[in-house]
Amino acid sequence: DFGFFGPISVSFLKALRWIYGHVRNYGAAIILLTVGIRLLLFPLMHTSTVSMRKMQKLQPKMKEIREKFKDDKERLNREVMDLYRTHKINPLGGCWPMLLQIPVFFALYKALLNSIELRHAPFVFWIQDLSEKDPCYITPIIMGATMFLQQKMTPVAGDPNQQKIMMFMPLIFTFMFLTFPSGLVLYWLINSTWGFAQSMYLQKKMG
């Protein structure tokens, strides 16, 4: 049972089997499938990151407007919308691309968590069963580190306290994934590494 996104999960599982037929290693197949999905979703991620960076640059002006019109909510909302129009920014531009990705990543998560194909399937060296946890906890620790680096580089607009809470997410995910199947952790590791590399590329490109 792959849950609500079952049809998408089954499609991913078929793709995983097809890749395995060529590389004969399910670990390598997970890596290639994850990279392929990230390439397909790159335009969405690019749009989301660009929008968030534009929002981040407007934060000083947003703060000024909030302080100036804090007692007049109607004027405050009007000034904020005028600011968005002036700079041609859609306030939902950073959210919608991320929301559209949720079914994709959740479906792949369910496929890797429940697939019988990973049972007793070796990857490399210390990982000899992709359906069991990483016995040395190497992959979840590296995954947490890459998530932390990506979090540091991702522009976040909003309350500073909320930003501090978000910085704890990599630590929470690391502890969660310590006992997860190593095949699933491998997917999240490659996903996080790709996200970190993409953030570096966009930061360099946008300045």
CB of 125 within 8 A of CB of 25? no
Which pLDDT score is estimated for 152? 72
Q: What is the pLDDT of residue 153?
A: 66
Give the per-residue pLDDT at 72: 73
> What tens-digit pLDDT sequence spans the chain (207 residues)?
777 778 888 888 899 999 999 999 999 999 999 999 888 887 777 777 777 777 777 777 877 877 877 777 787 788 778 777 777 776 665 565 567 677 877 888 888 877 888 888 888 889 999 888 888 889 899 988 888 887 776 655 555 565 666 677 788 888 888 888 888 889 888 888 887 787 777 777 665
Of 197, 187, 193, which Cα lies nearest the Cα of 34?
A: 187
Taking the C-alpha atoms of residue 133 and residue 117, their distance in angstroms, rounded to an integer, is 15
**pLDDT at position 70, please?**
74
Alpha-carbon torsion angle 11, 17, 23, 24, nearest 10: 160
Sign of CA dihedral 30, 36, 41, 45: positive
Answer yes or no: are the C-beta atoms of 181 and 130 closer than 8 Å. Answer: yes
Q: Which CA distances in Å does 75 have to 19, 69, 80, 177?
A: 57, 7, 9, 47
